[in-house]
Amino acid sequence: MSQIVVIGAGMGAMAAAARLATAGHRVKVFERSETPGGAVRRLERDGFAFDTGPGLLHLPAVYRDLFLKTGREPLEQCVALSQVDPAARHLFPDGTDLRLPNASRAGVTAALDAAFGTGSGARWGAMLNRAREVWDATRRPLLEEPLRNERLAALGRDPYPAAGGGPLRRPARSLAEVAGRELRDPRLGALLESYALAHGLDPRETPAGAVVLPYLEQTFGSWYVAGGLGALADALWRRCRDRKVEFVFGAEVVRILERGGRAAGVELADGGHEEADLVVCGVDPRRLPGLLGASSPTQLWGEVGVRPAERRPAGRFTVLLALGGARPAGAVHRTVVHAGDREAELAAVFGPAGSRWRIGRSGRSEAHGALCERPTVTVLRPDDPAGRPDAEHEAVTLQVTVAAHASAGAPADSTAVDWAAPGVAEGFADRVVEVAEAAVPGLAGRLLWREVVTPADTAAVTGSVGGAVPAPALAGAGGRRLLPANATGLPGLYSVGGWSHPGGGLAHAGMSGALVAGLIVEGADWRGSY
């Protein structure tokens, strides 16, 4: 039995803590904020409640496995899950209104043919068939196995096959190229690219294998947790407590202690120390050198050597709306209102195509961070009594992928916006609300109040550099879309959560916790979850 300290109470960190405690270890979690969940949080005001992080759950099997293996009560006895149907409504600038059913390939095909014309569904379906090949090739190394040297070469190659077959057919090099070459209709292309954008990925630079993102959603479905995703975080926190995990909130770790060439505990901001046999770090690995100081090993990223991403992913801008008036019958849970100018939006968030690595003569990068005039806006309207004071009110959440916050310590070659500057957040929120009127007619007249959550706010709460939201690991691009391995170069120190293998997203965070627990319980030679 080991004494284990966990830094942070995000979803990946708590997933690891629950599994480690179940295996008999003594686990103590230090969280600098006052609540568990990391980026999975709820804001409550005047009887309204909103998720300020992700609003839907995909691949719920990850959390079913976690709850099954850490206690007697399965996931469905701890939270109420329901499938969202339709999975999403998409509104395009030309007036096209597309409604995609949940987890129904035949239904998706029919919906696409009806909205875009005959043959659209077949082209989308053929792409998803190739996406299944990507899923089959990468599921284990990207979700279920520790990151290992012998896998790096294969993971550096994009597994997306060439459309049409034939030895002379070159596979698409990016998600945007898949959209242009294989889908052809710009609306179908915008639909595909919206899955990347929602994860903070630039489709112009994202490997074609990212087609696995719509494949996962349309194969395994979209799920809502009654009470919001914050209820899932609370359920996981309670499961940890049931397994005797100790939590200390309002406790910021400022240093990881090292003794005899291995992690030996942590030092807190109040000067206190906590000794440990092992340390599990649930914060952005880019902060590890600072937390280790002079003890930081030369090979901090372990034998695999995958470093944290040098380019910062985008952030999330959220507007929480308290509305008067009942939620209309038949209102769709999730609506994506697409940008009128896709290239302008991508340039605003990520910079002009091919420019993110461009360094100016001064040695600093040329900044391209900007605010899109009419961005893609995701409108969430859950039919959940827990989110509103009564049936005569409605809680609506608007989410936009934006450039991250221009904070100290941000990579010099990334786009950024100073979200803390006077008027920036509120002015952009006005634009976002205006765009959302397409999904919620009469929105402005029903508005009682609103709250705005920017990447600067995310940075303050989670410690993420620039308030960025981590993206899932992807194969291809020479391995540049991989995340650091869970076992670091300092013995006894492990990294968990969205900024470590296998990357961001609720399901990926849960798998990260499983991987860390497996490495600790089973040893360095452990080969994976299944």
pLDDT tens digits, residue range 269-313?
A: 999 999 999 999 999 888 899 999 988 888 898 878 888 866 556
Evaluate if residue 359 carries a pLDDT over 50. Answer: no
| Higher pLDDT among residues 365 and 292, named by residue | 292
Q: What b/e string do you get for 89-111 counting C-beta neighbours within 10 Å, with b at 16 or more?
A: bbbbbeeeebbbbbbbeebbbeb
Pick the range with the lowest mean pLDDT from 189-203, 310-324, 392-406. Answer: 310-324
pLDDT score of 413: 43
- Nearest Cα to Cα of residue 126 among 89, 160, 99, 91: 160
Q: What is the pLDDT of residue 139?
A: 94
Condensed to tens digits (0 to 9), the pLDDT of residues 392-450 reads 999 999 999 999 998 655 555 456 899 999 999 999 999 999 999 999 999 999 999 99
**Which of 110-119, 455-464, 507-516 shows the lowest per-residue confidence on average (mean pLDDT)?**
455-464
**pLDDT category, 194, cuts 50, 70, 90?**
very high
Q: For residue 472, list its beta bridge partners.
A: 503
Highest mean pLDDT pick, 169-183, 360-374, 504-518: 504-518
pLDDT (0 to 100) of residue 304? 82
CA dihedral for 38, 40, 45, 46, sign (positive or negative): negative
pLDDT band at 361; cut points 50, 70, 90: very low
* pLDDT confidence of residue 166: 54
pLDDT at 368 over 90: no
Rounded to an integer, the average pLDDT of 210-226 is 96
Angle at 90 between CA 434 and CA 467, to 5 degrees: 65
* Identity of residue 336: V
pLDDT tier, 366 (very low <50, low <70, confident <90, very high otherwise): very low
Instruction: Provide the mean pLDDT of the chain.
Output: 91
pLDDT at 529: 67
97-100 and 253-259: which strand pairing?
A: unpaired
pLDDT of residue 223: 96
Q: With bands split at pLDDT 50, 70 and 90, how would you rate the model's confidence at 261?
A: very high
CB 144 within 8 A of CB 65: no
Please answer whether residues 275 and 264 qualify as being in contact, where contact means their C-beta atoms are separated by less than 8 angstroms: yes
At 360 the pLDDT is 31
Q: What is the pLDDT of residues 220-257, one digit of tens each?
A: 999 999 999 999 999 999 999 999 999 999 999 999 99
Most confident of 169-178, 258-267, 368-377: 258-267
Q: Identify whether the C-beta of residue 204 lies closer than 8 Å to the C-beta of residue 346.
A: yes
